Amino acid sequence: MPSRKKKILEERSRRWRRMERWAQGWAIYKKNFLGRIGLVLLSIFVLMALASFIPPLVDPMYKPMSGVDPEITASTGPSFRHWLGTDFMGRDLFSQLLAGARVAFTVGIASAFVSIVLGTLIGMTAGYMGGWTDTLLMRTADIIMVMPTLLVVLILAALFGQLNIWSIVLIIALFRWPGVSRVIRAQTLTLKERPFIDAARVAGASHLRILFRHIMPNVLPLSFLYMTFRVTAAINIEAALAFLGFGDPGTVSWGMMLQWVWKTGYMFKAPYWLLPPGICISLITLSFYLLGRAMDEVLDPRLRKEGERY
Protein backbone atom coordinates (compact mmCIF):
# COMPACT_ATOMS: atom_id res chain seq x y z
CA MET A 1 0.00 0.00 0.00
CA PRO A 2 1.40 3.42 -0.86
CA SER A 3 2.38 5.22 2.28
CA ARG A 4 0.34 8.33 1.53
CA LYS A 5 -2.86 6.40 1.40
CA LYS A 6 -1.93 4.64 4.61
CA LYS A 7 -1.35 7.97 6.28
CA ILE A 8 -4.72 9.28 5.21
CA LEU A 9 -6.39 6.15 6.53
CA GLU A 10 -4.54 6.43 9.80
CA GLU A 11 -5.51 10.04 10.15
CA ARG A 12 -9.11 9.17 9.38
CA SER A 13 -9.23 6.43 11.99
CA ARG A 14 -7.64 8.70 14.56
CA ARG A 15 -10.22 11.35 13.91
CA TRP A 16 -12.90 8.70 14.16
CA ARG A 17 -11.56 7.51 17.50
CA ARG A 18 -11.47 11.04 18.82
CA MET A 19 -15.09 11.62 17.80
CA GLU A 20 -16.03 8.35 19.39
CA ARG A 21 -14.41 9.43 22.63
CA TRP A 22 -16.32 12.71 22.60
CA ALA A 23 -19.53 10.80 21.90
CA GLN A 24 -18.85 8.46 24.80
CA GLY A 25 -18.11 11.39 27.08
CA TRP A 26 -21.30 13.12 26.02
CA ALA A 27 -23.30 9.95 26.62
CA ILE A 28 -22.07 9.88 30.22
CA TYR A 29 -22.53 13.62 30.64
CA LYS A 30 -26.09 13.42 29.33
CA LYS A 31 -27.10 11.05 32.11
CA ASN A 32 -26.15 13.64 34.72
CA PHE A 33 -29.31 15.62 35.42
CA LEU A 34 -27.55 18.45 37.24
CA GLY A 35 -24.98 18.65 34.46
CA ARG A 36 -27.79 19.18 31.95
CA ILE A 37 -29.24 21.95 34.10
CA GLY A 38 -25.81 23.55 34.22
CA LEU A 39 -25.55 23.51 30.44
CA VAL A 40 -29.02 25.02 30.00
CA LEU A 41 -28.25 27.81 32.49
CA LEU A 42 -24.95 28.48 30.82
CA SER A 43 -26.55 28.75 27.39
CA ILE A 44 -28.99 31.30 28.78
CA PHE A 45 -26.07 33.39 30.01
CA VAL A 46 -24.31 33.07 26.66
CA LEU A 47 -27.49 34.32 24.98
CA MET A 48 -27.62 37.21 27.45
CA ALA A 49 -24.03 38.13 26.67
CA LEU A 50 -24.76 38.05 22.95
CA ALA A 51 -27.98 40.01 23.39
CA SER A 52 -26.14 42.72 25.30
CA PHE A 53 -25.22 44.36 21.99
CA ILE A 54 -28.86 44.88 21.00
CA PRO A 55 -30.37 47.44 23.47
CA PRO A 56 -27.91 50.28 22.70
CA LEU A 57 -28.75 49.85 19.02
CA VAL A 58 -32.46 50.27 19.71
CA ASP A 59 -32.04 53.59 21.50
CA PRO A 60 -28.91 55.33 22.90
CA MET A 61 -30.66 55.66 26.27
CA TYR A 62 -30.23 51.90 26.67
CA LYS A 63 -26.45 52.19 26.78
CA PRO A 64 -25.58 50.37 30.00
CA MET A 65 -23.00 52.85 31.27
CA SER A 66 -23.69 56.24 29.71
CA GLY A 67 -27.27 56.01 28.49
CA VAL A 68 -29.70 57.98 30.64
CA ASP A 69 -33.44 58.19 30.23
CA PRO A 70 -34.08 61.95 30.08
CA GLU A 71 -37.53 61.59 31.66
CA ILE A 72 -36.29 59.81 34.78
CA THR A 73 -34.27 61.27 37.65
CA ALA A 74 -34.55 58.57 40.33
CA SER A 75 -34.75 54.80 40.35
CA THR A 76 -38.05 53.54 38.99
CA GLY A 77 -39.63 50.10 38.94
CA PRO A 78 -40.15 47.83 35.94
CA SER A 79 -42.17 49.24 33.08
CA PHE A 80 -42.64 48.53 29.39
CA ARG A 81 -39.97 51.10 28.57
CA HIS A 82 -37.51 49.67 31.12
CA TRP A 83 -38.16 45.97 31.65
CA LEU A 84 -36.31 45.79 34.95
CA GLY A 85 -36.60 49.45 35.86
CA THR A 86 -33.83 52.02 36.08
CA ASP A 87 -31.08 52.88 38.53
CA PHE A 88 -30.65 56.15 40.44
CA MET A 89 -29.50 58.04 37.35
CA GLY A 90 -32.18 56.66 35.05
CA ARG A 91 -30.00 54.07 33.37
CA ASP A 92 -31.73 50.94 32.14
CA LEU A 93 -31.17 47.99 34.50
CA PHE A 94 -31.98 45.32 31.93
CA SER A 95 -29.28 46.44 29.53
CA GLN A 96 -26.85 46.69 32.48
CA LEU A 97 -27.71 43.11 33.39
CA LEU A 98 -27.03 41.94 29.83
CA ALA A 99 -23.74 43.83 29.71
CA GLY A 100 -22.84 42.23 33.03
CA ALA A 101 -23.08 38.78 31.45
CA ARG A 102 -20.52 39.83 28.86
CA VAL A 103 -18.14 41.14 31.53
CA ALA A 104 -18.58 37.99 33.62
CA PHE A 105 -17.68 35.74 30.69
CA THR A 106 -14.73 37.88 29.69
CA VAL A 107 -13.31 38.05 33.20
CA GLY A 108 -14.07 34.44 34.08
CA ILE A 109 -12.79 32.80 30.94
CA ALA A 110 -9.76 35.04 30.34
CA SER A 111 -8.49 34.75 33.88
CA ALA A 112 -9.28 31.04 34.18
CA PHE A 113 -7.47 30.41 30.90
CA VAL A 114 -4.31 32.20 32.01
CA SER A 115 -4.26 30.49 35.40
CA ILE A 116 -4.87 27.09 33.82
CA VAL A 117 -2.04 27.57 31.32
CA LEU A 118 0.29 28.65 34.13
CA GLY A 119 -0.87 25.89 36.47
CA THR A 120 -0.52 23.18 33.83
CA LEU A 121 2.94 24.28 32.70
CA ILE A 122 4.23 24.72 36.24
CA GLY A 123 2.66 21.50 37.49
CA MET A 124 4.03 19.48 34.57
CA THR A 125 7.51 20.95 34.95
CA ALA A 126 7.56 20.38 38.70
CA GLY A 127 6.34 16.80 38.40
CA TYR A 128 8.56 15.87 35.50
CA MET A 129 11.81 17.53 36.56
CA GLY A 130 11.57 16.71 40.27
CA GLY A 131 14.40 17.71 42.60
CA TRP A 132 15.11 21.38 43.23
CA THR A 133 12.81 22.65 40.48
CA ASP A 134 9.95 20.74 42.05
CA THR A 135 10.67 21.99 45.57
CA LEU A 136 11.03 25.59 44.47
CA LEU A 137 7.87 25.64 42.36
CA MET A 138 5.74 23.84 44.90
CA ARG A 139 6.89 25.98 47.84
CA THR A 140 6.02 29.05 45.75
CA ALA A 141 2.60 27.49 45.18
CA ASP A 142 2.20 26.96 48.94
CA ILE A 143 2.94 30.59 49.65
CA ILE A 144 0.52 31.91 47.06
CA MET A 145 -2.14 29.48 48.22
CA VAL A 146 -2.34 30.89 51.75
CA MET A 147 -2.78 34.46 50.51
CA PRO A 148 -6.44 35.52 50.30
CA THR A 149 -6.76 36.60 46.66
CA LEU A 150 -9.40 39.25 47.24
CA LEU A 151 -7.32 40.99 49.90
CA VAL A 152 -4.21 40.80 47.72
CA VAL A 153 -6.06 42.58 44.93
CA LEU A 154 -7.25 45.16 47.47
CA ILE A 155 -3.69 45.87 48.63
CA LEU A 156 -2.53 46.19 45.03
CA ALA A 157 -5.41 48.55 44.33
CA ALA A 158 -4.30 50.65 47.30
CA LEU A 159 -0.71 50.81 46.07
CA PHE A 160 -1.13 51.10 42.32
CA GLY A 161 -4.34 53.09 42.19
CA GLN A 162 -7.45 52.22 40.21
CA LEU A 163 -7.05 48.86 38.48
CA ASN A 164 -8.58 48.33 35.07
CA ILE A 165 -10.44 45.16 34.19
CA TRP A 166 -7.47 43.50 32.48
CA SER A 167 -5.11 44.01 35.37
CA ILE A 168 -7.77 42.55 37.66
CA VAL A 169 -8.03 39.54 35.34
CA LEU A 170 -4.26 39.13 35.33
CA ILE A 171 -3.86 39.43 39.09
CA ILE A 172 -6.61 36.88 39.72
CA ALA A 173 -4.91 34.53 37.25
CA LEU A 174 -1.50 34.97 38.86
CA PHE A 175 -2.89 34.07 42.27
CA ARG A 176 -5.06 31.18 41.21
CA TRP A 177 -2.70 28.71 39.54
CA PRO A 178 -1.34 26.81 42.60
CA GLY A 179 -4.40 24.59 43.09
CA VAL A 180 -4.28 23.48 39.46
CA SER A 181 -0.53 22.95 39.45
CA ARG A 182 -0.76 20.62 42.46
CA VAL A 183 -3.26 18.37 40.71
CA ILE A 184 -1.34 18.41 37.42
CA ARG A 185 1.90 17.66 39.24
CA ALA A 186 0.38 14.63 40.94
CA GLN A 187 -0.95 13.40 37.61
CA THR A 188 2.43 13.96 35.94
CA LEU A 189 4.17 11.99 38.68
CA THR A 190 2.08 8.91 37.94
CA LEU A 191 2.38 9.37 34.18
CA LYS A 192 6.14 9.64 34.42
CA GLU A 193 6.40 6.05 35.65
CA ARG A 194 4.38 4.64 32.77
CA PRO A 195 6.20 2.54 30.14
CA PHE A 196 5.31 4.77 27.18
CA ILE A 197 7.38 7.60 28.66
CA ASP A 198 10.37 5.26 28.96
CA ALA A 199 9.77 4.15 25.40
CA ALA A 200 9.79 7.76 24.21
CA ARG A 201 12.97 8.47 26.14
CA VAL A 202 14.74 5.41 24.72
CA ALA A 203 13.63 6.46 21.26
CA GLY A 204 15.61 9.66 21.86
CA ALA A 205 12.83 12.15 22.59
CA SER A 206 13.96 15.34 24.32
CA HIS A 207 12.52 16.47 27.65
CA LEU A 208 10.47 19.14 25.92
CA ARG A 209 9.07 16.63 23.45
CA ILE A 210 8.14 14.20 26.22
CA LEU A 211 6.50 16.99 28.20
CA PHE A 212 4.46 18.50 25.42
CA ARG A 213 3.87 15.49 23.18
CA HIS A 214 3.36 12.68 25.69
CA ILE A 215 2.47 14.13 29.07
CA MET A 216 0.47 17.20 28.13
CA PRO A 217 -2.26 15.39 26.13
CA ASN A 218 -2.85 13.21 29.17
CA VAL A 219 -3.18 16.03 31.69
CA LEU A 220 -5.16 18.46 29.51
CA PRO A 221 -8.60 16.99 30.28
CA LEU A 222 -7.86 17.52 33.96
CA SER A 223 -6.75 21.12 33.32
CA PHE A 224 -9.92 21.71 31.38
CA LEU A 225 -11.97 20.40 34.28
CA TYR A 226 -10.22 22.74 36.68
CA MET A 227 -10.83 25.61 34.33
CA THR A 228 -14.57 25.48 35.06
CA PHE A 229 -13.89 25.91 38.78
CA ARG A 230 -11.43 28.74 38.14
CA VAL A 231 -14.00 30.55 36.04
CA THR A 232 -16.37 30.67 39.00
CA ALA A 233 -13.59 31.87 41.31
CA ALA A 234 -12.59 34.66 38.94
CA ILE A 235 -16.16 35.83 38.40
CA ASN A 236 -16.75 35.90 42.14
CA ILE A 237 -13.57 37.78 42.97
CA GLU A 238 -14.21 40.40 40.30
CA ALA A 239 -17.79 40.78 41.52
CA ALA A 240 -16.66 41.11 45.14
CA LEU A 241 -14.06 43.68 44.16
CA ALA A 242 -16.59 45.71 42.21
CA PHE A 243 -19.03 45.37 45.08
CA LEU A 244 -16.49 46.87 47.49
CA GLY A 245 -15.96 49.76 45.08
CA PHE A 246 -12.62 48.79 43.59
CA GLY A 247 -13.82 47.55 40.21
CA ASP A 248 -12.99 49.05 36.85
CA PRO A 249 -15.15 52.21 36.73
CA GLY A 250 -15.44 51.84 32.95
CA THR A 251 -17.28 48.52 33.03
CA VAL A 252 -20.76 47.54 34.13
CA SER A 253 -20.45 44.27 35.98
CA TRP A 254 -23.04 42.62 38.20
CA GLY A 255 -20.89 43.36 41.24
CA MET A 256 -20.90 47.01 40.21
CA MET A 257 -24.71 47.02 39.98
CA LEU A 258 -24.91 45.59 43.49
CA GLN A 259 -22.49 48.23 44.75
CA TRP A 260 -24.66 50.98 43.26
CA VAL A 261 -27.85 49.64 44.84
CA TRP A 262 -26.08 49.20 48.18
CA LYS A 263 -24.33 52.57 48.26
CA THR A 264 -27.14 54.73 46.94
CA GLY A 265 -29.52 53.60 49.66
CA TYR A 266 -32.00 51.89 47.35
CA MET A 267 -31.37 48.49 48.91
CA PHE A 268 -34.62 48.29 50.85
CA LYS A 269 -36.66 50.26 48.35
CA ALA A 270 -35.76 48.62 45.05
CA PRO A 271 -35.92 44.81 45.04
CA TYR A 272 -36.13 44.96 41.22
CA TRP A 273 -32.61 46.35 41.36
CA LEU A 274 -31.20 44.29 44.25
CA LEU A 275 -32.36 40.85 43.10
CA PRO A 276 -31.35 40.37 39.43
CA PRO A 277 -27.57 40.96 39.60
CA GLY A 278 -27.16 38.74 42.68
CA ILE A 279 -29.23 35.97 41.12
CA CYS A 280 -27.14 36.20 37.94
CA ILE A 281 -23.78 35.97 39.75
CA SER A 282 -25.03 33.05 41.83
CA LEU A 283 -26.54 31.18 38.89
CA ILE A 284 -23.57 31.61 36.56
CA THR A 285 -21.36 30.29 39.39
CA LEU A 286 -23.75 27.41 39.90
CA SER A 287 -23.86 26.56 36.20
CA PHE A 288 -20.08 26.41 35.82
CA TYR A 289 -19.91 24.41 39.03
CA LEU A 290 -22.48 21.88 37.81
CA LEU A 291 -20.67 21.68 34.48
CA GLY A 292 -17.42 20.93 36.31
CA ARG A 293 -18.97 18.26 38.49
CA ALA A 294 -20.56 16.51 35.53
CA MET A 295 -17.28 16.66 33.60
CA ASP A 296 -15.52 15.24 36.64
CA GLU A 297 -17.78 12.23 36.34
CA VAL A 298 -16.91 11.84 32.65
CA LEU A 299 -13.18 12.00 33.36
CA ASP A 300 -13.06 9.94 36.55
CA PRO A 301 -14.51 6.45 36.05
CA ARG A 302 -14.46 5.78 39.80
CA LEU A 303 -17.18 8.33 40.39
CA ARG A 304 -19.45 6.62 37.90
CA LYS A 305 -19.47 3.32 39.72
CA GLU A 306 -20.45 4.94 42.99
CA GLY A 307 -24.10 4.02 42.62
CA GLU A 308 -23.51 0.45 41.55
CA ARG A 309 -21.28 -0.60 44.36
CA TYR A 310 -23.16 0.61 47.35
Partner 1 sequence: MELWRYARQRLFQIGIIFFVILTILFILFRIAPGDPVSRMIGPEMTTEDAAHLISQLGLDRPLWVQYVYYVKNFFSGNFGHSFHYGRPVIEVIGDRLPNTMLLFTTSVMISALMGVFLGKIAAWRKGEKTDTVMTLLALVTHTVFLPWMALILIWIFGYRLGWFPINGMISEEVWLNPTSGFFAKSVDVAHHMILPLLTLSLIYFGSYLLIMRSAMLETLKEDYILTARAKGLTEKVIRNKHASPNAALPVVTSVGLSLAFSINGGALTETVFSWPGIGRELVFSVSNNDYPLAQAAFLLISAVVLVSNLVVDILYAYLDPRIRY
Binding residues for partner 1, per CB under 8 A? 34, 142-143, 145-151, 154-161, 232, 236-237, 239-240, 243-246, 258, 262, 267-268, 271, 274, 277-278, 281-282, 285-286, 289-290, 306-307, 309-310
Instruction: Output the smallest distance, CB 159 to partner 1, in A.
Output: 4
Cα–Cα distance, 309 to 304 (Å, whole number): 10
* Torsional sign, CA 95, 242, 231, 119: positive
Instruction: Output the smallest distance, CB 80 to partner 1, in A.
Output: 27
Three-class SS state of 262: helix
Q: Which is nearer to partner 1, 151 or 208 (CB)?
A: 151
Instruction: Output the smallest distance, CB 84 to partner 1, in A.
Output: 16
Nearest to 246 by CA among 177, 148, 152, 174: 152
Task: Yes or no: say if 225 and 296 are a contact pair by the CB < 8 Å rule.
Answer: yes
Q: Which is nearer to partner 1, 75 or 214 (CB)?
A: 75
Q: Which is nearer to partner 1, 55 or 178 (CB)?
A: 178
Q: Which is nearer to partner 1, 65 or 144 (CB)?
A: 144
- Tell me how far the alpha carbon of residue 38 is from its chain's centroid: 14
Instruction: Output the smallest distance, CB 294 to partner 1, in A.
Output: 12
First to last CA, the chain: 53
The dihedrals phi and psi of 150, each to the nearest 5 degrees, come to -60, -45
Instruction: Output the smallest distance, CB 277 to partner 1, in A.
Output: 8
Q: What would the 3-class secondary structure string for 103-140 be? A: HHHHHHHHHHHHHHHHHHHHHHHHHHHCHHHHHHHHHH
Q: Which is nearer to partner 1, 86 or 149 (CB)?
A: 149
Task: Yes or no: say if 111 and 230 are a contact pair by the CB < 8 Å rule.
Answer: yes
Instruction: Output the smallest distance, CB 254 to partner 1, in A.
Output: 8
Residues in contact with 73: Cβ distance below 8 Å, sequence separation at least 6, in sequence order: 90
H or E segment at 152? helix 149-160
Q: Which is nearer to partner 1, 56 or 247 (CB)?
A: 247
Q: Which is nearer to partner 1, 103 or 237 (CB)?
A: 237
Instruction: Output the smallest distance, CB 3 to partner 1, in A.
Output: 51
